[in-house]
């Protein structure tokens, strides 16, 4: 595990020392509560593997070599199985980094036989942890997913202008409460099925950089959303780095 991951995990591990890297998120003590709150998850649970390293789809071992905080507890399996279940036509990802979740979703779309994903990032223009556009574009081609996945440089809060509606949205851009507020305001009218946003747990609100830079709480934003957006059912997966799943009500009917 690299220094960046260790730093980000510190608060999670101190409050939940028995749930370290390598334990699937679906084995967390709170997963049964999340399962009870969102019926969609009942459809994907049977497809979740017994172990994180179990191969599910072509290209998975190579994708798993990319850096992502999502790998520690197997969130890639959630991305893949959601796409297989929902069979979306148009997916959008904001915040691509090395392409772990983008390529996982693209592989699921490939296996569905339909659907596209458009990824957006600042790439080299982002001053902190980033990846080059060329490297990600090359990976897409190396996995032979270029007919499914495309990427572009664009500001995160301008991407919504490009779409009338989408089925699936995933956002991972150093999220904080204000990020969530802007994304929901821009995208709640446009997303037909699900939104996934990195973060959402109490522990994620108090990671070092959130405190240092006095970033707004995500959990408080989610409390607001449950009243402001009654058409959406919102649940949070607690294991590092935590993940918020918002499902449009009645979207499965």
Angstrom CA distances, 47 to 41, 43, 86, stand at 10, 8, 14
pTM of the predicted protein model: 0.94
Residue with tokens 């592989």: 107
- Per-residue pLDDT averaged across 44-67, rounded? 95
Angstrom CA distances, 149 to 103, 179, 224, stand at 8, 24, 33
Q: Delimit the domains of the chain by residue range.
A: 3-248
Angle at 8 between CA 233 and CA 61, to 5 degrees: 80
pLDDT for 126: 74
Q: How confident is the model at residue 253 (pLDDT cuts 50, 70, 90)?
A: low
More confident residue, 16 or 124: 124
C-alpha 13/C-alpha 240 separation (Å) is 9
CATH number of 3-248: 3.40.50.150
- Per-residue pLDDT averaged across 81-91, rounded? 99
- Per-residue pLDDT averaged across 29-51, rounded? 96
pLDDT for 6: 52
CB 30 within 8 A of CB 239: no
C-alpha 239/C-alpha 176 separation (Å) is 17
Which of 159, 10, 42 shows the shortest CA–CA distance to 93? 159
pLDDT for 251: 77
pLDDT for 22: 93
CB 197 within 8 A of CB 183: yes
Which ranges constitute the DSSP H helices of 99-214? 100-112, 133-142, 177-187, 202-205, 208-212
For the stretch 159-182, pLDDT in tens is 999 999 999 999 999 999 999 999
pLDDT for 158: 98
Angstrom CA distances, 235 to 122, 158, 193, stand at 28, 26, 14
DSSP 116: E
pLDDT for residue 129 is more than 90: no
pLDDT for 249: 95
- Per-residue pLDDT averaged across 121-131, rounded? 81
């Amino acid at each position: 595990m690299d220094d960046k991951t260790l730093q980000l995990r510190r608060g999670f591990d101190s409050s939940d020392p028995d749930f370290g890297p390598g334990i699937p998120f679906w084995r967390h003590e709170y997963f049964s509560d999340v399962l009870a709150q969102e019926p969609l998850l009942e459809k994907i649970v049977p497809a979740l593997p017994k172990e994180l390293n179990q191969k599910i789809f072509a290209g998975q071992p190579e994708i798993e070599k990319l850096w992502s905080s999502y790998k520690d507890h197997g969130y890639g399996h959630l991305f893949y199985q959601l796409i297989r279940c929902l069979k979306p036509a148009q997916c959008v990802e904001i915040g691509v980094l090395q392409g772990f979740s983008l390529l996982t979703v693209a592989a699921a779309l490939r296996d569905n036989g339909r659907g596209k994903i458009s990824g957006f990032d600042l790439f080299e223009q982002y001053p902190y942890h980033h990846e080059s556009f060329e490297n990600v574009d090359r990976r897409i081609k190396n996995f032979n997913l270029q007919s499914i996945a495309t990427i572009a440089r664009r500001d995160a809060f301008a991407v919504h202008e490009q779409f009338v509606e989408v089925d699936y949205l995933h956002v991972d851009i150093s999220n904080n409460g204000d990020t969530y507020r802007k994304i929901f305001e821009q995208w709640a009218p446009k997303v037909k099925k699900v939104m996934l946003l990195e973060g959402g747990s109490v522990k994620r609100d108090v990671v070092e950089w959130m405190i240092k830079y006095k970033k707004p709480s995500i959990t408080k934003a989610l409390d607001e959303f449950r009243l402001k957006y009654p058409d959406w059912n919102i649940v949070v997966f607690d294991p590092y780095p935590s993940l918020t799943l918002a499902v449009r009500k009645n979207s499965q009917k």
